[in-house]
Amino acid sequence: MSEKQKIASGFARIYGAQPALPHAHPVSIECDITKGLHAFTVVGLPDKSVEEAKDRIASAIKNSGLESPKRSNKKIVLSLAPAGLKKEGAVFDIPLALSFLKASEQLSFDPKGKMFAGELALDGEVRPIFGALSIAAAAKKQSLTDVYIPEENAEEASLVSGIRVHAITSLKDVMQRLQTKKDSVFTRKKTRSVHEEVLALDEIRGQETAKRALIIAAAGGHNIALFGPPGTGKTLLARAATSILPNLTEDEMIEVTTIHSLAGALSGSGVTRPPFRSPHHTSSYSSLIGGGSGSAVRPGEVTLAHRGVLFADEFPEFHRDVIQALREPLEDGVVSISRAKASATFPANFMLIAALNPCPCGYWGSARCDCMPHIVEKYRRKIEGPIADRIDVWVQVGEMPPETLMRGAKKSDGETKIAREAVSSARTVQRDRFAKAKNVKLNADMRPKDIDTFAELTDEAEKQLVSAAHRLKLSPRGYHRTIKLARTIADLAASNSIEPSHMLEALQYRVRDL
């Protein structure tokens, strides 16, 4: 061991972060080396994976040609502050290793303005992590200038503007970058934004009423239920919904990508299109709403569908507790999860598309149906009351004549493009309208006070609504949701006020003929 490599007594502080939503929590990583009996400890409420970092960084440092902390005869304490914040995952390997190397005077660099994250392999190589984008966002919020992140996560982290991202591959690599001060900023590749829909709207023949309802729902972010016999196109319509939604804005893209990165569900460098999530009807409460054991609280499908579509096929077949758990996210756009050791609030502002049959066999009202009345009643009661009231659009997807499906039948070419442009135009109007409103981006997000301000009704339209509210026995929630839906229809028609025709169309979607 050379004189230069001998571990000296010293102190060092650098910065890392604990990934979280909507952004990571900054963490100060401190190392103190003093004379005394050999000890090597990590303090600051670490979980098992952070505790195990001692062995990973010791081997990585040794295999990088430096003196391992386990071979010293001194007391080494690594602290992660604030001490009250639970530290989880392997994101602290790199900052822990660097803080030790700096305190032991094996590495000299200025940590000011820098944040580090990454998992170390035993040979010193750097492995990718979850939540890189939230770490970059936290660094920007802390007014830091540089983030050193695993190479595989650099594209994702570079979505945050105004901060320099350094793609690192090994412990030796990051040390060399810090010592030479060579400009090694990662340059994000400019990619053309494309629509990657699985199914386009103009591929579906017939069902023009359902298509119109889907466009209205997409334009205002309204929840929609498609009901009808099996095989009539409910699932196809739902899957075509993302084809008519506009690309995410830059802020939405960062928000959604952060969620998917933290959940380990990120494919590619970032999410540019509204997500489409389709959980199976046997999904558990925790998988849909979110949860986990111990102190690890993870987002569920409703959060992964944030700013996109949550498709619930065979909606009444979901467990009753799961269906009822959708009340909060459908109303407030967030979901709160509380456990004995942890709690979290995740964003969950999505457009629900529910597909359901009129009865368990699907053929209610025809000679083919053999469902007993009490079975049908039990089946329908699962989506009664609060949940049904939170669905703005109810549309029947009926059977089509075979002639509509023939190969020679006329198709509406360019229907997807026209619908997408209409939805995009309507959303632009809403974005401008709600520019100064808090927590309101689409018509579906409006609260009662926002309705008074932004949804102007003509006298005749208001009379129609009041009359229909008595006749249909609309709840106050249903009353307000009808106005929001009519506001979206007016936006599609480029009308400043809600006219009688807009109100009549909105009211027909509130009628649940099921």
pLDDT in tens, 212-265: 999 999 999 999 999 999 988 899 999 999 999 999 988 888 889 999 988 888
Rounded distance between C-alpha atoms, residue 500 and residue 486, angstroms:
9
Percent of the chain with pLDDT over 70: 92
pLDDT of 436 > 50? The answer is yes
Query: What pLDDT is attached to residue 4?
Result: 42
Q: What is the mean pLDDT of residues 455-483?
A: 93
Query: What pLDDT is attached to residue 266?
Result: 82
* Per-residue pLDDT band at 398 (split at 50, 70, 90): confident
Q: What is the mean pLDDT of residues 275-286?
A: 93
* Per-residue pLDDT band at 3 (split at 50, 70, 90): very low
Query: What pLDDT is attached to residue 2?
Result: 45
* Each residue's pLDDT tens digit, 141-170: 999 999 999 999 999 998 888 899 999 999
List strand residue ranges (DSSP E) for 19-175, in order: 25-35, 39-43, 74-81, 114-116, 119-120, 126-127, 146-150, 164-168
Angle between helix axes 459-472 and 476-492 (nearest 10 degrees) is: 140
Q: What is the mean pLDDT of residues 426-454?
A: 92
* Per-residue pLDDT band at 500 (split at 50, 70, 90): very high
Query: What pLDDT is attached to residue 114?
Result: 95
More confident residue, 491 or 416: 491
Q: Are 495 and 488 in contact (CB under 8 A)?
A: no
Structural Rg of the chain based on CA atoms: 28
Query: What pLDDT is attached to residue 125?
Result: 96
Query: What pLDDT is attached to residue 294?
Result: 53
Structural element, H or E, at residue 299? strand 298-299
pLDDT of 422 > 90? The answer is yes
Q: Is 444 left (phi over 0), alpha (psi -120 to 50) or beta?
A: alpha
Q: What single-letter DSSP state applies at residue 427?
A: H
Query: What pLDDT is attached to residue 353?
Result: 97
CA distances from 310 to 30, 70, 212, 314 (A): 43, 50, 19, 13
Q: Angle at CA 45, nearest 5°, toward 40 and 46?
A: 60
More confident residue, 511 or 84: 84
Query: What pLDDT is attached to residue 385?
Result: 83
* Per-residue pLDDT band at 6 (split at 50, 70, 90): low
Query: What pLDDT is attached to residue 192?
Result: 41
Cα torsion angle, 423, 424, 427, 432, sign: negative
Rounded distance between C-alpha atoms, residue 388 and residue 354, angstroms:
10
Query: What pLDDT is attached to residue 406?
Result: 64
**For 29-33, 297-301, 429-433, which range has the lowest pLDDT when averaged over its residues?**
297-301
Burial group, residue 198, by CB count within 10 angstroms (0-12, 13-18, 19+): exposed
Q: Global pTM?
A: 0.85
Rounded distance between C-alpha atoms, residue 506 and residue 445, angstroms:
17
Q: Are 291 and 297 in contact (CB under 8 A)?
A: yes
Rounded distance between C-alpha atoms, residue 52 and residue 175, angstroms:
22
Place of tokens 């909507």: 22
Give the number of other Cβ atoms within 10 Å of residue 371's Cβ. Answer: 16
pLDDT of 413 > 70? The answer is no
Rounded distance between C-alpha atoms, residue 166 and residue 114, angstroms:
10
Query: What pLDDT is attached to residue 118?
Result: 96
